[in-house]
Chain A
Amino acid sequence: MISIQGLKKSFGSQEVIKNVDLEIEQGKVVVIIGPSGSGKSTLLRCLNVLETPNGGVLSIDGQKLDFNSAVSKKSISAFRRLTGMVFQGYNLFPHLTTTGNVTEGLTTVKGLSHKEAVKKAELLLDKVGLADHKDKYPFQLSGGQQQRVAIARALAMDPKVMLFDEPTSALDPELVGEVLRVMKDLAHEGMTMAVVTHEMRFAKEVADEVIFIDEGVIVERGAPAEIFNHPKHERTKKFLSLLQV
């Protein structure tokens, strides 16, 4: 489903992603962990080309982008439509209602009529448990509710892959569960997902694979039980021991 080959990304002289290779099969959930600044966000942002990689080949659902040569804007936006992105800070559109946030992409990008878009938005908002909040504005919602709207907004575009960048780390602890529950449901429905998170329980219960990144390279990858209980590398051990405290 997803294939990353030789991905490279630098900011100025700082190499943030160093030759990363990664495959994610259809319907699998991959959890990405690693220290702050190790390049987790950059990796996800390269996958939907919010950052333009300096090299490497990305392929999702058979569509390919080769960054070793020039890439057109048009092919980037076509490629971007394959992925849905959920941000740490939600990034909801504050001037639009809950429904408006979900329908905007449907009407503007997919060209659906307002009526069709609203119908689809209602289904999705129901799915993330926000049917009662469809006319509210983001500032009237809790962080957990906002993040669920953001998930519905991304799902509305029918992505092949969902990317989550620390979706719960801006949330108060009591609101984390409601967001993880929605993500779990998605995983069970067979959505292919790449999730940057330090929610260990989620990783253990939902992930098919855990990937540990440090300084822009994949240090270790494996089944959650393997990584968490028997990490092989010193760096992984050290990182996990810091997480446990």
Chain B
Amino acid sequence: MYLNTIALSPERLQRFQEIASTSIGPLIEGAIKYTIPLAIIAFSIGLIIAIFTALARISSNKFLRAIARIYVSIIRGTPLLVQLFIIFYGLPTIGITIDPFPSAVIGFSLNVGAYASEIIRAAILSIPKGQWEAAYSIGMNYSQALRKIVLPQAARVSVPPLSNSFIGLVKDTSLAATILVAETFRRAQEIASMNYEFLFVYVMAALVYWVICFILSIIQGRIEIRLDRVVGKTGGLS
């Protein structure tokens, strides 16, 4: 009897088809309205945070270095889920109430900021000292050398790891479901809780993420080929 209900009878397959056609719309809508915008906005803000954090970490100012290190350590040393709960469920208890989507943007931006700062820091440090010296020797100051000479080269070095981070971020945004953002995974939870077809609905949600990440990885490949062409495989000089 029990076995029968989970078997894939013709009627069940028929039911899957109906569920697929009625739920694919909401799932894609969740992706377009929330998952993708959340990823893009959080990544953009996160990158800006990351650049400043990376600069603080390599600066000669002890105070700046310490602040940056503490920030990175806290974000990397605590679960993203817990951070989101603190922002969305925790802050209201001290009178700071933030809507689900902005809460998610804050949480994910802070995360990208910390993780990407390590990537950018490593990229800046990978630029040979001779590049700084050449920049100084034609009269540039620190900020000119950084903006015109070092960061453009560091950006190229960091494209592959940063695009991996972005793809990771797209998947991580599913955690926003827990703070009521109506993104892809939350839609799936809602649909499944009505029809109880958990396996089928969650696999559909997984497919939506997979398609997005697949497209992103193709774009990533293109960008990398393009960068290689512009600067040459070897890039920097000894």
Contact = CB atoms under 8 A, between A and B. Distances in A.
B137 A89 contact: no
A58 interface: no
A224 B135 CA distance: 33
B148 A94 contact: no
Interface string A180-200: 000000000000000000000
Interface in A71-101: 73, 77, 80-81, 83-85, 87, 89-95
Contacts of B133: 50, 85, 87, 91
B221 to A, nearest CB: 21
Interface string B217-238: 0000000000000111011111
A137 B153 CA distance: 14
A89 B138 contact: no
B231 A95 contact: yes
Q: B interface, how many residues as a size bin?
A: 20 to 34
Contact of A94 (B135, B140, B235): B235
A91 B134 CA distance: 6
A139 interface: yes
Contacts, number: 83
B232 A137 contact: yes
A63 interface: no
Interface in B100-158: 128, 130-131, 133-141, 144, 148-149, 152-153, 156
A139 B232 contact: yes
Contacts of B156: 95
B134 A109 contact: no
Contacts of A105: 138-140
A94 B140 CA distance: 17
Given A105-B138, A109-B138, A139-B231, A94 B144 contact: no
B232 A154 contact: no
A157 interface: yes
B231 A81 contact: no
B48 to A, nearest CB: 21
Nearest to A156: B138
Contact of A77 (B141, B152, B235, B236): B141
A138 B137 CA distance: 18
Contacts of B235: 94, 139
A235 B230 CA distance: 50
Contact of B148 (A80, A87, A104): A104
Interface string A35-65: 0000000000000101000000000000000
Given A94-B153, A109-B144, A80 B231 contact: no
B144 A84 contact: no
Contacts of A8: none
Contacts of A95: 152-153, 156, 230-231
A91 to B, nearest CB: 4
A81 B138 CA distance: 7
B81 to A, nearest CB: 40
Contacts of B153: 93-95
Interface in B49-75: none
B230 to A, nearest CB: 8
Contact of B237 (A77, A85, A91, A110): A91
Query: Which of B128, B136, B137, B232 gathers the greatest number of chain A CB atoms within 10 Å?
Result: B137
Given A87-B133, A109-B139, A157-B139, 14 more contacts: A50-B136, A80-B137, A83-B137, A85-B133, A85-B137, A94-B153, A95-B156, A104-B148, A104-B149, A108-B140, A109-B138, A110-B139, A137-B230, A137-B232
Interface of B: 128, 130-131, 133-141, 144, 148-149, 152-153, 156, 230-232, 234-238
Top-6 shortest CB links A-B: A139-B232, A105-B138, A91-B134, A85-B137, A91-B130, A109-B139
8 contacts: A77-B141, A80-B137, A91-B131, A93-B134, A95-B230, A105-B140, A137-B232, A157-B138
